[in-house]
Structure 1
Amino acid sequence: MLFQGTLEKALVDEIRGATNGNYVAGSSRFAAEIAAAVGRRVEPAKAGRPRST
């Protein structure tokens, strides 16, 4: 059996969000290391359109 206990809801939500959005789950340091290794964004961008200047 992979898990003998249950996972906290917040952790399950974080894993689902990362999986559904195709992003890494982990610390910002880990995300930065992965982004450097793969050469692309691995965290969600800010939502919405850019502000016009």
Structure 2
Amino acid sequence: MSAQRFYDKHGRNAIVLAGIGAMNYRAFFSFNVVGGLMWTFGLTILGY
């Protein structure tokens, strides 16, 4: 139950716990794509 309380407290920002919690696939996929794009552009800009 403590994992559920953590997820309830931090909401969708707790994406790491998505596999353990009850986050639906669409929300997980959306945040995963956004995070991947941010990571890609961030590393590209830092390398430039």
TM-score band by shorter chain is: 0.3 to 0.5
Higher relative contact order (CA 8 A, sep 6+): 2
Larger Rg over CA atoms: 1
Q: TM-score, normalised by structure 1?
A: 0.35
Query: Normalising by the residue count of structure 2, what TM-score does the alignment of the two structures yield?
Result: 0.38
- Bigger helix share: 2
